[in-house]
């Protein structure tokens, strides 16, 4: 067998349960060194035969070097094609059911010789990562060997699968190893896992990601050629790092000598990001078409990483001959300036999800004051109203703004009014007298109403609403974790 046997086995895992874009890191592929030199299967068998008392667990014993790690097997680079039989074998390894079996139950199978029925007098056990190998000899000198799983090119298939499933599910080796230690379950050693990851898993992820990205770019390029509008959504995410010691210290002692404001400032000084990933998703297919990973050393500050990643991603997409018609982001001032100055031909939409989230925070903050507590029961309804206005305006900014301002009538118990000689009304069903009486409407002269009015009629918000008429949001990107 050859390298593609391993690739086929991993591709089966991708197809059935892995969204490989979540785990791809472009920079990691450059860190991959040459595959380590592994022991041949014949060498392993010789080592087993040297000592019938051999019982090595790679989970609990640190190997001196990769060459002595029995979990590794050699690679072959001479073959360049994959046969149907090899593909079927790879699929078979993954589909086979697997059980957790205790050692005494396994050794009950090695009491009698399978050839002559004589008593087995000698057994040699070896733990090769997650695999158990047993060599036995009976009274009549018959010998045999048994393995708890078959090999893929000399590597135990389960070692490869355990390593692949750990990486592809987003778990860390430490988490899996702790769980296995409590259960006394044998799994590949840490060095084995990382060598399998660098030699097999990351190259396959890189290859598969590039193929999927190329297909996504081709789809967008085809849309451009057919004059179909291309709508993309973008969002950035940073890894936040905070000094835990400082955080605990300040949290404990803030009531003694620190105000809340000083605490926030001090925490902010130790609160930074090292990486930022800016991702773009096709609104039509919900596919991640591209993302850029930016290190803090590539920008002037942690905050500046997001616009750097944004510009790189947009330029990369445009270099593929793709014409972006609509681009949706949050209301970041730096992104807004870039769009206004460098990409004036692209229609810039604001993410309604982020706007509603910000509105909710403002309402919650305002309603904490005694005179504004009447707003508390209305907070969720006001946020839902903005969401509804964006979803039902049909792309008309004027209608969106008009419907948004109608909340000032409804919240005072007025559901029909005249404006510019035309009668307007709320879109909800007529309320019964009992419903009208029991609802806690705001008085027009109340402090709570004037607070809400200043928020609803805010000129900055009204300007932003004109860039939310297409009802775009990056909710799908929020669950994407590159």
Looking up tokens 């100055």 gives 341
**Cα 47 from Cα 33, distance rounded (Å):** 28
Q: Considering the entire predicted model, what is its pTM? A: 0.67
Pick from 469, 479, 284, 443: nearest CA to 389: 469
Query: Does residue 482 form part of some domain?
Result: no
Same domain, 141 and 243: no
**Cα→Cα distances 465→325, 348, 451, Å:** 19, 12, 19
Same domain, 128 and 182: yes
Same domain, 185 and 307: no
Q: Last residue of some domain: 289, 315, 350?
A: 350
Same domain, 294 and 419: no
Same domain, 382 and 248: no
Query: Does residue 213 form part of some domain?
Result: no
**Cα→Cα distances 203→116, 210, 475, Å:** 48, 11, 30
- Tens of pLDDT, residue by residue, the chain (482 residues): 444 455 555 555 544 444 333 333 333 333 333 333 334 444 444 444 443 333 333 333 333 334 444 444 544 444 444 556 666 766 777 788 888 889 899 898 898 998 888 998 999 999 889 999 999 999 988 999 999 988 888 888 899 999 999 999 889 999 999 999 999 999 999 999 999 999 999 999 999 989 998 999 999 989 888 889 999 999 998 876 544 445 555 555 554 454 555 555 544 544 567 889 999 999 988 899 999 999 989 988 888 899 999 999 999 999 999 999 999 999 999 999 999 999 999 999 999 999 999 999 999 999 999 889 999 999 999 999 999 999 999 999 999 999 999 999 999 998 888 888 888 888 888 888 888 888 889 999 999 999 999 999 999 999 999 999 999 988 778 777 66
Same domain, 93 and 132: yes
Q: Which domain holds residue 13?
A: 3-206
**Cα 287 from Cα 477, distance rounded (Å):** 10
To the nearest 10°, report the CA torsion of 6, 7, 10, 11. Answer: -150
pLDDT for position 33 = 33
Same domain, 324 and 421: no
**339 token code pair:** 């769009």
Pick from 388, 458, 6: nearest CA to 205: 6
Query: Does residue 455 form part of some domain?
Result: yes
Same domain, 346 and 360: no
Specify the number of domains making up the chain: 3
Same domain, 317 and 369: no
**273 token code pair:** 């990001």
pLDDT for position 481 = 60
Q: Last residue of some domain: 350, 368, 395?
A: 350
Looking up tokens 């620190």 gives 258
Tens of pLDDT, residues 190-230: 999 999 999 999 999 999 989 998 999 999 989 888 889 99
Query: Does residue 416 form part of some domain?
Result: yes
Query: Does residue 218 form part of some domain?
Result: no
Q: Last residue of some domain: 323, 350, 377?
A: 350
Considering only CA atoms, give the Rg of the chain: 32
Query: Does residue 214 form part of some domain?
Result: no
Query: For residue 392, how many C-alpha atoms fall within 13 Å in the half-sphere facing its CB?
Result: 10
**Cα 133 from Cα 473, distance rounded (Å):** 55
C-beta separation of 482 from 21 below 8 A: yes
Same domain, 360 and 459: yes
Same domain, 299 and 379: no
């Amino acid at each position: 067998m050859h390298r593609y046997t391993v690739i086929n086995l991993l591709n089966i895992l991708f197809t059935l349960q892995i969204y490989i874009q979540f785990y791809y890191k472009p920079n990691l592929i450059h860190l991959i060194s040459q595959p380590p030199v592994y022991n041949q299967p014949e060498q392993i068998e010789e080592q087993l035969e040297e000592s019938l008392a051999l019982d090595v667990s790679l989970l609990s014993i640190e190997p001196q070097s990769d060459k002595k790690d029995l979990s590794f097997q050699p690679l072959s680079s001479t073959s360049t094609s994959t046969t149907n039989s090899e593909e079927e074998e790879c699929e078979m390894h993954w589909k086979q059911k697997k059980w957790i079996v205790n050692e005494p139950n396994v050794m009950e199978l090695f009491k009698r010789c399978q050839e002559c029925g004589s008593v087995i007098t000698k057994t040699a056990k070896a733990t090769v990562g997650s695999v158990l190998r047993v060599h036995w000899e009976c009274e009549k000198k018959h010998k045999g060997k048994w393995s708890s799983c078959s090999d893929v090119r000399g590597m135990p298939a389960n070692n490869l699968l355990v390593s692949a499933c750990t990486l592809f599910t987003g778990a860390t080796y430490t988490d899996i190893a702790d769980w296995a230690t409590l259960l006394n379950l044998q799994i590949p050693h840490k060095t084995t896992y990382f060598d399998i990851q660098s030699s097999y898993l990351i190259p396959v992820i890189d290859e598969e990601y590039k193929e999927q990205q190329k297909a996504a770019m081709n789809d967008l390029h085809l849309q451009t050629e057919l004059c179909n509008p291309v709508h993309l959504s973008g969002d950035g995410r940073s890894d936040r790092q905070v000094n835990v010691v400082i955080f605990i210290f300040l949290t404990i002692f803030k009531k003694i000598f620190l105000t809340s404001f000083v605490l926030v400032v001090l925490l902010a000084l130790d609160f930074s990001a090292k990486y930022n990933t800016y991702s773009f998703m096709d609104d039509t297919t919900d596919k991640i078409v591209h993302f850029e990973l930016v290190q803090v050393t590539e920008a002037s500050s942690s905050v500046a990483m997001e616009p750097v990643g944004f510009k790189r991603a947009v330029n990369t997409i445009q270099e593929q001959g793709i014409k972006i018609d609509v681009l949706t982001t949050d209301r970041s001032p730096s992104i807004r300036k870039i769009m206004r100055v460098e990409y004036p031909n692209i229609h810039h939409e604001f993410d309604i999800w982020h706007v509603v989230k910000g509105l909710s925070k403002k309402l919650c903050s305002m309603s904490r004051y005694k005179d504004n507590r009447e707003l508390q029961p209305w907070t969720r309804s006001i946020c839902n109203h903005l969401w509804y206005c964006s979803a039902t305006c049909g792309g008309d900014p004027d209608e969106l703004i008009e419907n948004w301002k109608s909340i000032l009538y409804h919240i005072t118990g007025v559901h029909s009014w005249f404006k510019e000689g035309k009668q307007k009304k709320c879109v909800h069903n007529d309320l019964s007298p009992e419903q009208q009486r029991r609802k806690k409407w705001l008085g027009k002269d109340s402090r709570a109403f004037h607070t809400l009015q200043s928020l609803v009629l805010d000129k900055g918000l009204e300007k932003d609403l004109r860039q939310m008429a297409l009802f775009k949001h990056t909710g799908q990107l929020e669950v994407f974790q590159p």
